Amino acid sequence: MENLDLIANNKAVVKECCSKHGEGLQVLHYEPGQKYEPHFDYFLDEFNTKNGGQRIATILMYLSDVEKGGETVFPQSKVTNNSVPWWDELSECAKSGISVRPRMGDALLFWSMSPDAKLDPKSLH
Protein backbone atom coordinates (compact mmCIF):
# COMPACT_ATOMS: atom_id res chain seq x y z
CA MET A 1 0.00 0.00 0.00
CA GLU A 2 3.04 2.27 -0.22
CA ASN A 3 1.74 3.63 -3.56
CA LEU A 4 -1.56 4.64 -1.99
CA ASP A 5 0.34 6.39 0.79
CA LEU A 6 2.11 8.50 -1.86
CA ILE A 7 -1.24 9.59 -3.22
CA ALA A 8 -2.61 10.26 0.27
CA ASN A 9 0.45 12.34 1.17
CA ASN A 10 -0.11 14.46 -1.92
CA LYS A 11 -3.87 14.62 -1.37
CA ALA A 12 -3.82 18.30 -0.46
CA VAL A 13 -2.12 19.22 -3.73
CA VAL A 14 -4.45 17.05 -5.79
CA LYS A 15 -7.52 18.24 -3.90
CA GLU A 16 -6.64 21.91 -4.32
CA CYS A 17 -5.98 21.50 -8.04
CA CYS A 18 -8.71 19.09 -8.97
CA SER A 19 -11.62 19.11 -6.55
CA LYS A 20 -13.70 21.73 -8.34
CA HIS A 21 -12.63 21.35 -11.94
CA GLY A 22 -10.81 18.05 -12.20
CA GLU A 23 -11.52 14.48 -13.12
CA GLY A 24 -11.16 11.36 -11.02
CA LEU A 25 -7.78 9.72 -10.64
CA GLN A 26 -6.65 7.17 -13.19
CA VAL A 27 -4.12 4.59 -12.00
CA LEU A 28 -2.13 2.76 -14.67
CA HIS A 29 0.32 -0.10 -14.22
CA TYR A 30 2.77 -1.06 -16.93
CA GLU A 31 4.53 -4.38 -17.30
CA PRO A 32 8.01 -4.44 -18.90
CA GLY A 33 7.72 -3.59 -22.58
CA GLN A 34 4.30 -1.96 -22.28
CA LYS A 35 3.69 1.67 -23.17
CA TYR A 36 0.96 4.21 -23.71
CA GLU A 37 0.79 5.39 -27.31
CA PRO A 38 1.56 9.11 -27.87
CA HIS A 39 -1.55 11.22 -27.35
CA PHE A 40 -2.86 14.60 -26.26
CA ASP A 41 -4.78 14.99 -23.03
CA TYR A 42 -6.96 17.75 -24.47
CA PHE A 43 -10.21 16.95 -26.24
CA LEU A 44 -10.70 17.39 -29.97
CA ASP A 45 -14.40 16.53 -29.96
CA GLU A 46 -17.33 18.81 -29.16
CA PHE A 47 -19.09 16.32 -26.86
CA ASN A 48 -16.36 16.23 -24.21
CA THR A 49 -15.67 19.95 -24.36
CA LYS A 50 -19.34 20.74 -23.80
CA ASN A 51 -19.75 18.10 -21.06
CA GLY A 52 -17.04 18.99 -18.57
CA GLY A 53 -14.82 21.37 -20.46
CA GLN A 54 -11.35 21.18 -21.89
CA ARG A 55 -8.45 19.52 -20.10
CA ILE A 56 -6.06 22.34 -19.30
CA ALA A 57 -3.37 20.50 -17.34
CA THR A 58 -2.31 17.02 -16.28
CA ILE A 59 -0.58 15.83 -13.12
CA LEU A 60 1.27 12.52 -13.38
CA MET A 61 2.38 10.94 -10.11
CA TYR A 62 5.04 8.26 -10.32
CA LEU A 63 4.30 5.42 -7.91
CA SER A 64 7.43 3.34 -8.50
CA ASP A 65 11.00 3.47 -9.70
CA VAL A 66 12.11 1.58 -12.78
CA GLU A 67 15.58 0.35 -13.66
CA LYS A 68 15.45 1.40 -17.30
CA GLY A 69 12.97 3.17 -19.56
CA GLY A 70 9.53 4.28 -18.42
CA GLU A 71 10.12 7.93 -19.25
CA THR A 72 7.29 10.31 -20.08
CA VAL A 73 8.36 11.74 -23.44
CA PHE A 74 7.22 14.91 -25.20
CA PRO A 75 8.40 14.24 -28.79
CA GLN A 76 7.23 17.59 -30.19
CA SER A 77 9.49 19.42 -27.70
CA LYS A 78 13.02 18.85 -28.88
CA VAL A 79 16.21 18.79 -26.85
CA THR A 80 19.84 18.34 -27.88
CA ASN A 81 22.04 15.68 -26.38
CA ASN A 82 24.62 18.15 -25.10
CA SER A 83 22.03 19.85 -22.87
CA VAL A 84 21.17 16.68 -20.91
CA PRO A 85 24.00 15.28 -18.76
CA TRP A 86 22.30 11.88 -18.41
CA TRP A 87 21.66 11.50 -22.17
CA ASP A 88 23.34 8.08 -22.38
CA GLU A 89 21.09 6.74 -19.60
CA LEU A 90 17.87 7.50 -21.53
CA SER A 91 15.97 4.94 -23.57
CA GLU A 92 15.97 5.44 -27.34
CA CYS A 93 12.34 6.57 -27.16
CA ALA A 94 13.19 9.19 -24.54
CA LYS A 95 15.83 10.69 -26.82
CA SER A 96 13.10 11.74 -29.27
CA GLY A 97 12.09 14.78 -27.20
CA ILE A 98 12.03 16.26 -23.73
CA SER A 99 11.64 13.39 -21.29
CA VAL A 100 11.06 12.87 -17.59
CA ARG A 101 12.40 9.77 -15.85
CA PRO A 102 9.99 8.17 -13.36
CA ARG A 103 11.04 8.39 -9.72
CA MET A 104 8.76 7.09 -6.98
CA GLY A 105 7.06 9.99 -5.22
CA ASP A 106 7.72 12.55 -7.97
CA ALA A 107 4.94 14.35 -9.79
CA LEU A 108 4.92 15.97 -13.21
CA LEU A 109 2.58 18.84 -14.05
CA PHE A 110 2.24 19.88 -17.67
CA TRP A 111 -0.16 22.13 -19.54
CA SER A 112 -2.22 21.09 -22.55
CA MET A 113 -3.18 24.67 -23.36
CA SER A 114 -1.33 27.95 -23.51
CA PRO A 115 -2.33 30.92 -21.30
CA ASP A 116 -4.37 32.32 -24.21
CA ALA A 117 -6.46 29.06 -24.24
CA LYS A 118 -4.96 27.62 -27.43
CA LEU A 119 -4.34 23.88 -27.59
CA ASP A 120 -0.62 23.15 -27.29
CA PRO A 121 0.63 20.56 -29.81
CA LYS A 122 3.90 20.29 -27.85
CA SER A 123 1.94 18.60 -25.04
CA LEU A 124 1.88 15.37 -27.08
CA HIS A 125 3.27 12.65 -24.81
Range of the domain at 78: 2-123
**pLDDT averaged over consecutive 10-residue blocks of the chain (125 residues)?**
53 58 77 86 84 85 88 85 74 85 91 92 94
Cα distances from 14 to residues 55, 61, 67, 107, 109, in angstroms, run: 15, 10, 27, 11, 11
- AA letter at 122: K
pLDDT of residue 118: 93
> Would you tell me how many other CB atoms lie within 10 Å of the CB of residue 88?
8
pLDDT of residue 49: 78
pLDDT of residue 14: 57
pLDDT of residue 5: 56
Query: How many structural domains is the chain composed of?
Result: 1
CA 47, 50, 52, 56 torsion-angle sign: positive
